[in-house]
Amino acid sequence: MNTIVSVKNLSKNFNEIKAVNDLSFSVEKGQVYGFLGQNGAGKSTTIRMLLTLIKPTSGQIEIFGMDLNKHRKEILRQIGAIIEKPDMYKYLTALENLRIFAAMSGVKVSEKKLLDQLEMVGLAERAHSKVKTYSQGMKQRLGIATALVHDPQLVILDEPTNGLDPQGIADVRNLILMLSRQMNKTMIISSHLLSEIELIAESMIIIDKGKKIVEGKVRELFDPAETIIELKTFDDALMYEKLQQSDLKIFVQGKRNDCILLKLHRDQIPAVIKKLVGLEVPILSFHSKHSLENYFLSLTTGQQHVEAFTN
């Protein structure tokens, strides 16, 4: 694969606040790349630096193999982006908005091409409706259409499903997958909706307080076969003691709040349950908790969970 985006040792300070702290990552051609972090983690600040809306304090950004500082205009002509909610002219129609954004991008696009783009995002039937009559999900899809009006190689979407209902989220998700798989667009998707990134991204980075926590292929970072179990009993202290004295000790990861944590492969679950019953401590619940969300929390604010995912 060709590297489309290469970020090395990127930092951004706002007075004494380090919004981005020595961040490095790379995005390969044709990928959907998930940019994960809680609110305030530094995602939007990083994206604004990629789009030259703010200047880095230090570090290097290369896009399409070119230094962003030296080839700014050439690079930006090949990028489409939405930061937070798309800003549309609400008293104009969708088609009129696309015409304006095409003119602002300096490209000549035929009426048919503009209508084709509205068809692509599922808005062809509302091409002549004023944007003020659109739902939030429709506005979001129109925003993506405006980001694509100049046929960019790289598309950057900052929290594209924020404020959408389940149907709107599904529509945007399917649109992102279509752009990647059918149109071979490279996509950077910033989000805190972990389940959505799990569904669409091939690779991802997790950042917290401006720092990279982990980066890699989603399938390698998150193995659904490896499961974290929360075990609750009538007497957790007694159960924990018995586990430490049994051959189940290898699965014990510790205690959290009112439960015992176990880590095991899902194929081992039936045999482990049988042995737990044999320890003769009444079991209240045996609940699988492994998900991308738990993995994310284990690496960021949920630091108390780390041992359960790394030991």
Q: Using alpha carbons, select from 69, 89, 66 the residue that is nearest to residue 78.
A: 66
**Residue owning tokens 């957790």:** 236
Structural domains for the chain: 3-221 (3.40.50.300), 226-289 (3.30.70)
118 CB-near residues (< 8 Å, 6+ apart): 94, 95, 98, 124, 126, 127, 142, 145
Q: What is the pLDDT of residue 304?
A: 40
Strand-pair category, 32-36 with 79-83: unpaired
Q: How far apart are the first and last CA of the chain?
A: 33
Q: Using alpha carbons, select from 227, 234, 256, 260 the residue that is nearest to residue 246.
A: 260
> Would you give the DSSP letter of residue 93?
B
User: What's the average model confidence in pLDDT over 80-92?
Assistant: 87
Query: pLDDT tens across 107-159, in order?
Result: 888 999 999 999 999 999 999 999 999 998 899 999 999 999 999 999 999 98
Is a pLDDT exceeding 50 seen at residue 218? yes
SS3 content of the chain, % helix, strand, coil (to 5): 40, 30, 30
Task: pLDDT band for 299, please (50, 70, 90 cuts).
Answer: low
Q: What is the pLDDT of residue 263?
A: 79
> Would you give the DSSP letter of residue 132?
G
Task: pLDDT band for 227, please (50, 70, 90 cuts).
Answer: confident
How far apart are alpha carbons 6 and 270 in whole angstroms? Answer: 46
Is a pLDDT exceeding 60 seen at residue 311? no
Residue 191: what residue type? S
Query: pLDDT tens across 160-177, in order?
Result: 988 888 888 888 899 999
Q: What is the pLDDT of residue 69?
A: 94
Task: pLDDT band for 194, please (50, 70, 90 cuts).
Answer: confident
Is a pLDDT exceeding 70 seen at residue 308? no
Q: How far is CA 275 from the centre of its chain?
A: 39
